[in-house]
Structure formats: C-alpha cells, structure tokens
Structure 1
C-alpha cells in the first residue's frame, strides 16, 4: 500500500468515525433521559417481563437446567415465542455489541447507521446519506413502537437497511471494471458475506413479519435489476455475473438465517400447533381468529389503513393522529369546555385526547414519513430515470396496497390465498413500514442528483413545481378547507356528552389545520433551498448509467457538484431534524420516561397476591377477573395463570377459550356480582367443570379482597374410571362438556392405540378406593408424582398437552403419554406404588444448537476469507 493510499484510507476512517459519533449524538439527543438512568415506561415490555418472569427467575437460579416451558400463561405453554435460546449462535455477540448502550437510543443508532449504508450503496453522497438516514430512522412509526414497547419490531426495522445495503452493494459490484474475475468477484463475495451477516442480525431480532416484508423488498429489487440488465445489449454481457452474485447471496443468506436455527427451529415446530397453524375444528365451533390455513381474513385485517388516512404520511394530524394524543391544553376546546363546567383536573384531558377519527380500531399515531421526504419522493418521480425509480415506486405502491388491507381487498385476498406464509400474519397495515425506506431512498437519491448538478435547471423547475403543487399545494387546500379530511367524527364519540363532542371536532380541525400549515412551510423551505442551489448551477446532467452501474464520475467526489451543496444539505438537515424530532416527541416525550425503580414497581404484590401466595400447595392456577383474563399480560407475574396474552397461543387452548372458558368466566362474574358477601359469593360459584379440570383454584375479583377459592378444582391429577372414544375434533371438544371429567376421559381417534389400552384397563373390576396420585415436586419443565394403584389405571393430569418434547417415566422406564379431554395429558399407569416423572426435553433445541453453531462458524470464516480475498485479488485496489 502506497503512502497516498494510506492517507486516503485514514481520511475515510476519520470521516466514518465522525459520522458514527454524529449518529450517537443524534440518537441520544432524541432521548436524553436515558443518560440519567431513566427508562421508557413501555407497556408491552412490562407485559413481557410479566409473562417471562417465571422462566427468567427459574433459569437464573438453575444454570444448566434452563426450562423451555412456562405455566405463567394459558395453563402452560412453551417459551419459544417470547424467550428464545442463543446456544450455538456465535453471531449473537456481534448483535449484542451493535445494540450496546441505552435503549432506545441504541436502536436509533443502529437504524441510522444502516440507513446511511443503504443510501451509500445507491451511490448517494456521504453528506446527503447522513441526512437521509435521519429521515429513515425518525419516521413516527418507529417512535410509536418504541413508546409502547415493540422492541423486537424496532430492532428488526433497524437492521432491515443493513440487509438491503448489502444486496444492492453486491449487485452493483458486478459492473466493476478490470481484467477478469479478480476485478469483480472478490467484492461480490464480500458483499454476499456481509449480506449473510446482516441477514443473521435482522432475523435475530425475532420479528418474522418485518423479515417477511424485507423478503418482498429484496425480491422486487432483484426482479427489477434483472429486467434492467437484460433490457440492454451492453449490460446483458453481465448476466452471468448476475447469476453468480445471486447464487452467492442465496447461499450466504441461508447461512445467515441458519445462525438463528436455535430460535427458528423450535419456533417453526411450535407454530404448527398455534393459532398460526389453524384450527382443527369446522363450522361455528372454529375460532373466529383462525381457519385451517392460518389466521382468518377478518382477524388479520382488523388493523387496515384507510384510504382517507394516507395523507397523514405528510400531515401528521390528517386523521387526528393518535387515539390518545398529547396536545397543548391552552389550545384545546375540550379542555376549555371541561374547565367551564368545573371538571376536576381538566387540563389532564390534554394528555390523552381522542383525536383519531380514522377507520382503524385505535392507533398509537400516524405513519408520518416526513413532509420533506414526501416532497423529495415526488420530485424524484419527476426528475429521475432508470431502474431505481421504478423499483422503489413499485415497492411503495405494493406497500400501500398491502397496508390498506380490507380497504383494498382484491390485493389482500390475492396475497392471503396465494402468497406463501402471508396468511400467518395479522395487522396488515404494518406493510407500510417499507415506505420508511423506499420514500427516503428515492427522495434523497433525487436530492443527491440535483446537488451533483445532475439535473438541468429546466427539468428541476418542471418537476419541482409539480411536486410542490402536489404536496405544499395540498397542505394549503387542507388548511383552507379542512373538510377535505372527512367528518371529524368517530363512533367512539357517541359516548361523550354533546358539548364535548362539538369541542372534540373543533380540536380535530384546529390541530389538522396547524399540521397542514406546518408541513406546507417545511416543504416550501426545502423547495426554496433546492431552487437556490439549482439557480447557481449551469452544469449538465450526469448520465444515468454512471449513477446506477457503479462507474465513477467526476460528480461523485466530495469536492465536485454544486458549489452550494454543503449549505443546502445543512439546511435540509436542519429542516428534517426539526420536523421529525418535534413530531416524534409527540409520541415519545419526557412524560414517557420513568426511573428504573418506578418501572420495577409495576410488579408490586397486591394484597390478594400475598394471600394466594401464602398457599403452600405445589401447583395450582389462578384467573384474574379484575382485568381481561385472556388479553392481559400482567396477571402472570406472580401466579400460574389460566389466561394471559399471546397472539401465538396454542390453537387447542384458543378453541377451549372460545367454546367453554369465556362462558364459564362470564357465569362466574355474574354469580359474584349478585353476592352480598364473601361466603355468599363462595356458595354461588358455579361448578366450572373445564376451569376445575385445569386446576383453577382461585378467582381474583378485587385486588384488595380475599380471593375466592374454587372448591371444585380437580387438583393436579386424578384417576378415571372409564373412557369415551370419539371420532374427530368436533366431537372431541363437544364431548368434554357432556361428561363427568372426574371419572371419564375423552380420547380421540388420533390416540387410538392408547385409547384401546385404556379401555382394556378400565374394563376390569372396580379399582380400590385407596388408590391415590399426588404431585411431590414442581418445576416449570419437570413434574414428579407419587402414586399407588391396585391395577393398571388411567390418570388425567391438569397439565396442557403439547405433542413435542414432553416425556414421562415411571421409575425410570418410559411410558406413553396421550392427549385426553381436548387439552389435557393422560397416562396409563402400571399398578403398584411408583414415582412418575414428566420432563420437557424438546430435541429440537439440540438440533437447532448444532445447526446454529455450524452456520455461525461457516459464515464468520467466509466473512474473514472474503475480506482477505479482497486485498489479495482485487486489482483495482492495487492500481
């Protein structure tokens, strides 16, 4: 390496270090509270901590004996969906290093850096890429999901641009000039290896729906790139290189995904038995949320973006913003009306004002992309040519179409019925996250072209004025005629008094007009900056081929291009930061941060919890009626729970909820409401046969009062006297509501062999009344029982049956386990006095660990070899 090359390398390293420091400053300046030790009061994180508390506590105290089963929710379920293992995954350390720091600033930093690399991969100038990274990262949706605690989603979004940057870099590398394969192949291999590593990080975030949308984005780019390649005889010569690059990306991408086998393999196995796998039931007995193919269409599209909401990408309050928005109390008509009528703490209404009047059930806020980003995107459509424009436009339109869900049903049904895996995901409006990347990519590519003197003044004025009219002009129309945005009313308004309804409409109009004017001014300022830059430039345009093929041009250097470039970029940067920071702080402000101690106090024991925990019985279940039993993540922190919250619960348990548990709880609540005292409530409790079979021992109806004990609870296990054979899932679930489950086991056709053995055992004489079975030791993934039986006897256990991983042994000898009573475990126990042990030992974890280790070692070695190969074989490096 020559002295000049070394100086150039050091200069680039210094620039990169400066940009990294700048990104850290930007990330932490948005959430400065984390520097003083405060944390975001995220409801979903407290919910996660609640549902995972039993597992976390057990694993911390039993190193080497970690459990993959929890009884904290839904009678028992695998921990797969919320607490993954990292064993064997050597890339986990890189992932943890990248996210090192205070969250959520660390998430923002990773997204900033990834978006910066993504724009660089398109050939965008360094300074413009820095501003574009800010536009990508601080879209309001990111801020909203941070506030509510969707951390895995934010991490997946943050690593998405890293993956796309590697893809684009790899395909652009095939056009590198030089002699033979050494000119391009080392760089292509390096890009593919980095793609594999980035893919490993993105999948590691564990949000499959975001990864799914990323796959769509990659597919669109590859198809467009190939069409563009074969459309020109000159470029067609590189088709062989394209297929070589594609093969490398495919192989190394699979390796990157494979590093996560320890997560993905158990998750795939578990998914087959969850709501994502579909219900076995038919007709009205099936869950309203699923069918035999996956989620029901109505359930999956419940959160669909409305056509009338789309302008909120440019005007935050176009449809009212958030369902519970923070506003200035001095500008609120609702607050004024409340003060007029003497409502106590009237100003507190401004903290959760129901401004949203769109078509979704509720929302944390709009998908605000930034007024300047929307303007630049439209400007790019007018002034740019080539594949980047068409690829990004196609991806943007598809994202909008999918996000509309039930409001664009033909496309939704097409994907739901024919595109693999699409029907496994809900909240289709999430597809709009792709716009957070496609809009800034095209917009800042256009800005870069203009500032490199790549757009003649006449062409800019034509496109710029058109984009200005479509954006700032629309904002002006909304400001002048706010009724463009709709009726300003929502169905939930009917619950309010008439005076408040009118005041709420006034507030919605006021804040809409304010945001429309605000967006118009930002767009106008950006246009004037660009007009000022273009008016000083008399240079001709840069050929399209130079910008998309990877060839160097004079305008690519930092010293070339428009002389006012730095000032314009600085001005755009100030505008973008001001716009997105101020809107972002509407959804994540200082009010959302609390001390770590206050956050921990979310899990303080209530008096009723103390009373239940005084029960020394090894295992029993609780249902909390002070909240929604099957939609609350918090009630599993201290107790083994009948309910909880999970969009991926076991499908058979969901069927049980729909068919029996909801009705039994409604009857219980009605009985308690009519009681005049605790003894009266106890006497009124219905038998609740299904809840009792699940060993639901306590009902919480008041956090300050004693719990109600279900005296009918069956306990941990019991012997049955007979078996009811049934054919098919519909008959199986119907039968458990028609028989005495204390004495009869309902067994379906899928366990015909076990059923025959049980029938033979119960056909003999009446068993001795002294037979017993009791739980002697409890752990989440290991249960010990002691029993005595005068003959072979079938026992039913109040434990959820899961077909993967549970094994049973009597005095060390394996015995068969079968499913009975729709959801419970059953075993035919041999006569005599013995110890029974049930263990959860899923083999999929050892398989996943081995696969993760193999893929990790292979990928990391290939990354290192590709870096070495770049220096050894890249002839351009030697020139």
Structure 2
C-alpha cells in the first residue's frame, strides 16, 4: 500500500488515549503501588495458597488441592497446561499491558469500540458508547468485589459480537479469524456463565440476521455465515479444551449436578438426586420487579447494603442529637443497611445510566434498522430472567428446560445483557441521528414520543416513591438491635429506625431528581441539534461527556480510592499467622484443622495456612456438600466424622481473651488406618444415615454395590500397620504390612474422575468408603501403595488444544496476508 491513511487512524489513536486516561484516573492508586482490597480475591488467595506453594517448590501447579474441604480438584482455582502457541498470550495486548484494574476497564472500552467500528459508527460516538458499556455500575461493583474473571469475560463480549458481525457482513476471512480468537479469549477467562449469556446474545442476533437473509433470499450466504461462525466458535472453544473438559468432568461430581436428599418418610432409605443446583439456591439473588428501575434511577432501593449513608444522613443527625460524637455517628450510619430490596444483600444496584436509558428508548422509536427488534426482544427476556424467583412461572420453566441453565445461579447477573444492548442501541441511534437524518421533523416527533415514554417511567417512579414503605425483609432484626442499643426505650429505638426509613426515601428522591436532570440535558442536546442551535460535533461531544459523567459518578459510590490498600496492609489484615496458627504449625505431621472462629464452610483464610476441613468454593464436590449438610452443619457436629477426616486441631474462640486458641483432638485417626469390620448398606442415603452412629476407627461403611471389590473377610491383624510416606498433592505414597488380607481407609476425599491406586505397581480399585473417603482392599504382606491423580480430561486434551491454538494464529496470518494483497490490488488500480 502506497499511503497509510493517518487521518483515518487518528480518531482511533485518540480513542485509545481517552480510554487509557479515564481508566488511569478511575483507578489512580494502582500507579501509586496500591492494590484493590477485593473480598473474592482474598478468598482466592486462601484457596490457591497450597497450589502456589507447590509451584514454588516443584515449578508447576498440581491438579489436586489439599487445603479445601479435605481436598478437591484445583481446576476452578488455578489451571495451566503447557501450550507454547496459546492465544492467551494475546490477552495482555488487548489490555495494553496495563496493570489491574486499569487494564480491565480499558479492555471493555476497546472491545466495545471495536464493535462500534465494525458497525461503521462514527469514532466519537463509539467512544461514548464504549465508556457507557465499560463504566456501567455493575462493572465497578464486580471489580471492587474481586470478580476479575467475570469482568474480563465481559471485556470480550462486544469484540466477539463484532467478529461474528464481520462474518455476517460477508467479511469472511477476518470474521472467521477474529471469531476464533475472541471466542477463545472469552472462554479462557473461565467465567462460563458470562460465556453462556453471550451465546444467548449471539442467538438472538443470529435469528435477526436469518430473518433478513431469508427475506433477501440470500440462502448461500446464510449457510456460509452460519457454518463459518460455528466452525470458528468451535475452534475457539477447542483452544480451551483442557479447561472445558476438566470443568465438565468436575461438574458431574459437584453440587451443581445435584445433592443428596434423604427421604425420611421412606423406610427403604431411598435417595433422590436433583439434577443441577437446587432452584431456591440458584435463585437466591433475584432482582425485584420494581427494582429494575435502578437501570434508570440507581438508589430506588437504597443502593448497597451498607456504605451509602454518612454524617449528613438522618440517622447520623438523630444520633448526634442524642449526644453521640459526630465521627461515631457517621461510622454507625455508614454501617446501616440502606438497601431494602429482596436480595439477601448487595454491593450496589445495576445502573446503566439515565442518558443511555433515554437513548435506548429513542432508538426503539427512531431507529430504522431491523436489528432493533432482536435487541429489544433480547433485552426484555434478559430483564425477565433477572427477576428469578420474582417471576417464577417463567424462570422455573427456563431453569427446568433451557440446556445447562440450572448449572448457574444469581439471576441478577443476566443484567449484563442490557448493559451491552443499551449502549449498542445508543451508538446506533446517535449515528443515524447525526449522519443519516434527512427529515429533522420526523426526528423531533420521535424525540417527543421518547420523552413521553421516558416521562411515563418517571411518573411511575414518583408513584412508587410515595407508595413504598421502605421496609426491608430483615428489618425485624434491625429493630431488635435498635431496641437493645437503646436499652429497651421504644421511643428512642423507633426514632432511630424512622431516621433510617427517611434516609432510604431520601436516597430514592435524590437519584430520581438526578436522573431527570441527566435526561433533560441529553434530550436538550438532541433538540438543540435538530433545531440547528447546536452543531453535530458539539452535540456528540456533549453525549460523550454526559455518558461519562452520568455513569462514572455513580461508579464512584462503589469504587473509589478507599477500595485500595497497601499490599502489606492486606497481608497483615487477612493472612498474618495468629498465635494459634503458629502453635499448630509446630506440628509438621499430616493433619487437618477445623477453625470454629470463622464461618467454617465459607472460610478460605484457614486454607491459606492449613489443610482445612472447611473452606470456600462456589462449586464444592456434591459428596462433601452432603456431608456438611447432614453431619457437620448440625449441632453438635458429628465428632466421629471429624475424627475420620483427620481433624487433629480445632481452633476456638477464648471468651476470656476474645482471641483464638487451639484444642487438640486426640481421637483424630491420622491419614490412614486398617479397620476391623466392613458394614455394607444399600445406597448412598443409607451410608449417610449410618454415619450418625458408627466408630470409624473400627468400622468402614461401604455401599452394597461395591461388596465384590472388598476381599477382606473380617479377620483383622491387630499388628497390621499402614503409614503415609509422602503426600505430594497429585501423588500419595503409603507403605503397609499385615499378616492377613485387610481393608484400609484413607483420609482423602473420594473422587473417581482421575485418581488411580496401585499396590506394588498393580492397579487396584478405589472403593468409596464412609461416603466421602477412599478405601482399598490390601492383601497380606508388605506393600507399597501409590495413589496418583491423572485425570484423562486434562492429559488427553492438551495436544488438541495446542493444535486449535495454532490454527487460530494461522487464520489470523491468512487474514493479514489477504488484506495486504487486497491493499496492493487497490493501490495498483
């Protein structure tokens, strides 16, 4: 090509610069060496510490994690596979090698901007839409919470949509290559729920295009486009075959594939397994119907569960009147639950922006493109899905019939779909308004209709404002707390509660007025442009500024400099060993720890230091979840179960010092032992019930179906010994010595999707024992026993993933070469 069109490139360079500047200013403490204090990342560090320490010693990550819930696969925590041509190497480039979280917000901006350019949107309009997508409140909230993979997956949704759109525009080479690349990168972020929502988005878009192709009788392109899209998507998925295969394999053994129900009315101990998550659990975080107004007015329901109120609030002022110091009153107000919706708690509302809401409605009224109809249908469906249990007839049907939908939870998350569709419509309608408007009178008429519809929403919001009681489902507990705080003085207690109600009303009213102002400013920009009072350039600039100011100002409520800390401060706060920890660490043998000073089964911090009985993971093994439900969540805990789990140390709170102290459990059974009796029962429910009253030191409980695998005849050798030689995560080595055939129980979690057992090099079946543990039939004599974790889902797919990754690079090279040749031909012409 003879000439590089620098003037055409300049707007794109400016867009990149603007995205970088906004992201840097938004997360400025990152450049000062500070890091985000993210609860989910703190949990992840606790979960991952065993794997990180292993890598520091061995140079690679193991596939089995010893520190969570007695042991579990590491797939969903850290998973790496040797792939010298992995497309993931391109990921830092798309974040412009910027540090976290600056790079996160840049990725969402540049990804949406790419889509806007595929749609041939003016670059400046594309900048506004990109900012609207990247800085919707949900983005700031999930980054503050530490949902990094979710944010990164959202970063590739617009780019992948743009790539598919290229195919549908008959730009086959680039479309296919980029669809393969971006689908690989989206899936690589390992947030399959966002990938699932993308499939829904792409499905609606494809239906929209198919209708157009059928009307145009363009059957050849229809077939070619669909085939290329499916092939490219399949290549991208195959690049991630190791993670997809291991996740699929693992999911079959997790609570997301069902948990145990004991039918106490059936004396035959029958068992029923649910397929997928329990619907009550899956729908726990459902958006309220009226709560959907937060898309337009953020604090309709009080914003976040806490942190919304300050020293100027009603509740702070009434405390100050009662003699409470100003700083204490402000701290008390900040801790109060301003959110009063139906979700258990929330870090903040899903706010898309009043300006974008106006433009979305304007687009539905004014846009000529048929694409608006599939976008509208998609948005409505996503909104209905977000209501979860609040629209049960619709969502229960989807939960039971939509493939794989019952594997996911938190219906509120479907609002990432309108987070995408609103700015998409916004850039489309602004492009048409400023560059394709032939009759401004029709545009003014469309604006009037838009204002009537938007005004109707505001009128309804005002009616809600006056009709709401602003009482939360959990306020009864709050009233009890206020009553205790005021030593039973009902008048004082009610005055504090009424002040909180007044604050909730005030939050709604303030944001209602705020959104009306932004809508007026946006509508005025359109009106003055149509009346030739404002040039298109200035009007577009006004929209960029309005969208940025609207969204980022709300983001600042949930993501600010206060979210950043020195890394040493975070380490000292969460990961510094206590005196109790140091006492336990003196014991270098193999054991597990139960920490009762924490929420045992939602605590990853204990796993940072020890092999923990508890832990935190959103997808626990179903047999572990069953054991927790029926044996360890009840009071008192089943000590015999703790003994078989080799729980040598229990951390409790000393009420005298209010500090953790250590209790030794002398009955912990160690890593392995020979038993005297094998008790056979019919089915998993019977095994679980048998755990209520048994002595694991002497008895092993095995399902009747596995009786043929047990060669032990019941004659125990009292002198028999078995010892753990080495636990190397993926490889366990034991030695045994017995004068008779025996049956040994190993205090390791049973997982039949990769663990193999060998006695003197000969494979022997692992028997599920005591519901969650492993058992082996061991012949008489001295033996070396090895357990090895080599899941086929991991090892059998590495070469295939490498091949798919190489194919993506070849497709990209082909697209580049094709473009170069086409450019030379154009120059020659």
Superposition TM-score, scaled by structure 2 size = 0.93
Trace 1:639-654 onto structure 2 (pairs within 5 A).
Answer: 639-654=610-625
Q: Distance in 1 between matches of 2:285 and 2:438?
A: 41
Pairing 1:832–2:781 present: yes
Q: Distance in 1 between matches of 2:532 and 2:561?
A: 43
Once the two structures are TM-superposed, the CA of residue 510 in structure 1 deviates from its matched residue by: 1.4
Contact residue 726 and residue 732 of structure 2 kept, 8 A: yes
Pairing 1:697–2:648 present: yes
Q: After superposition, give the CA deviation of every residue in 1:604-660 in whole Å (9 maximum; x if it has no partner).
A: 00111111111122x111111111111222221101111111121000111111111
Trace 1:662-701 onto structure 2 (pairs within 5 A).
Answer: 662-663=633-634, 666-667=635-636, 688-701=639-652
Aligned to 2:178: 194
Aligned to 1:80: 75
Contact residue 733 and residue 786 of structure 2 kept, 8 A: yes
Q: Distance in 2 between matches of 1:284 and 1:346?
A: 51
Once the two structures are TM-superposed, the CA of residue 838 in structure 1 deviates from its matched residue by: 1.9
Q: Distance in 1 between matches of 2:290 and 2:786?
A: 59
Contact residue 383 and residue 455 of structure 1 kept, 8 A: no
1:792 aligned to which of 729, 741, 747? 741
Contact residue 173 and residue 814 of structure 2 kept, 8 A: no
Q: Distance in 1 between matches of 2:166 and 2:467?
A: 42
Aligned to 1:607: 579
Q: Aligned in 2, Cα 1:477/1:258: closer, same or farther, shift over 3 Å?
A: closer
Aligned to 1:521: 517
Q: Distance in 1 between matches of 2:815 and 2:537?
A: 36
Trace 1:437-476 onto structure 2 (pairs within 5 A).
Answer: 437-454=420-437, 456-471=439-454, 474-475=457-458
Trace 1:14-163 onto structure 2 (pairs within 5 A).
Answer: 14-64=10-60, 66-88=61-83, 90-99=86-95, 100-163=97-160
Pairing 1:277–2:246 present: no
Deviates more, 1:708-717 or 1:42-51: 708-717
Q: Distance in 1 between matches of 2:754 and 2:73?
A: 10
Contact residue 309 and residue 319 of structure 1 kept, 8 A: yes
| 3-state DSSP of counterpart to 2:628 | helix
Aligned to 1:543: none
Q: Aligned in 2, Cα 1:372/1:291: closer, same or farther, shift over 3 Å?
A: farther
1:819 aligned to which of 741, 763, 768? 768
Pairing 1:339–2:320 present: yes
Once the two structures are TM-superposed, the CA of residue 380 in structure 1 deviates from its matched residue by: 0.7
Aligned to 2:269: none
Contact residue 818 and residue 825 of structure 1 kept, 8 A: yes
Deviates more, 1:430-439 or 1:825-834: 825-834
Q: Distance in 1 between matches of 2:14 and 2:329?
A: 48
Q: Distance in 1 between matches of 2:615 and 2:639?
A: 19
Aligned to 1:425: 408
Pairing 1:858–2:807 present: yes
Once the two structures are TM-superposed, the CA of residue 482 in structure 1 deviates from its matched residue by: 6.1
Q: Aligned in 2, Cα 1:506/1:788: closer, same or farther, shift over 3 Å?
A: same
Trace 1:197-216 onto structure 2 (pairs within 5 A).
Answer: 197-216=181-200
Contact residue 140 and residue 580 of structure 1 kept, 8 A: yes
| 3-state DSSP of counterpart to 1:616 | coil
Q: Aligned in 2, Cα 1:857/1:284: closer, same or farther, shift over 3 Å?
A: farther
Q: Distance in 2 between matches of 1:476 and 1:76?
A: 56
1:580 aligned to which of 551, 554, 561? 551
Aligned to 2:506: 510
Aligned to 2:239: 259
Aligned to 2:474: 492
Q: Distance in 2 between matches of 1:436 and 1:80?
A: 30
| 3-state DSSP of counterpart to 2:775 | strand
Aligned to 2:490: none
CA RMSD after TM alignment: 2.1
Q: Distance in 2 between matches of 1:639 and 1:832?
A: 34
Q: After superposition, give the CA deviation of every residue in 1:256-301 in whole Å (9 maximum; x if it has no partner).
A: 1111112111111111100112235453699xxx952101111111
Contact residue 110 and residue 130 of structure 2 kept, 8 A: yes
Q: Aligned in 2, Cα 1:856/1:303: closer, same or farther, shift over 3 Å?
A: same
Contact residue 388 and residue 442 of structure 1 kept, 8 A: no
Matched residue count = 800
Q: Distance in 1 between matches of 2:566 and 2:649?
A: 34
Once the two structures are TM-superposed, the CA of residue 476 in structure 1 deviates from its matched residue by: 6.6
Q: Aligned in 2, Cα 1:873/1:578: closer, same or farther, shift over 3 Å?
A: closer
Once the two structures are TM-superposed, the CA of residue 459 in structure 1 deviates from its matched residue by: 2.0
| 3-state DSSP of counterpart to 2:776 | strand
Trace 1:547-626 onto structure 2 (pairs within 5 A).
Answer: 564-601=535-572, 602-617=574-589, 619-626=590-597
Contact residue 871 and residue 877 of structure 1 kept, 8 A: no
Gapped runs of 5+ residues in structure 1? 175-186, 538-562, 669-686
Q: Distance in 1 between matches of 2:800 and 2:623?
A: 30
Deviates more, 1:768-777 or 1:161-170: 768-777
Once the two structures are TM-superposed, the CA of residue 812 in structure 1 deviates from its matched residue by: 3.1
Pairing 1:636–2:614 present: no
Q: Distance in 2 between matches of 1:113 and 1:775?
A: 54
Superposition TM-score, scaled by structure 1 size = 0.88
Once the two structures are TM-superposed, the CA of residue 169 in structure 1 deviates from its matched residue by: 2.0
| 3-state DSSP of counterpart to 1:747 | strand
Q: Distance in 2 between matches of 1:485 and 1:108?
A: 38
Q: Distance in 2 between matches of 1:52 and 1:705?
A: 24
| 3-state DSSP of counterpart to 1:706 | strand
Contact residue 608 and residue 707 of structure 1 kept, 8 A: yes
Deviates more, 1:813-822 or 1:847-856: 813-822
Once the two structures are TM-superposed, the CA of residue 385 in structure 1 deviates from its matched residue by: 2.6
Q: Distance in 1 between matches of 2:603 and 2:145?
A: 15
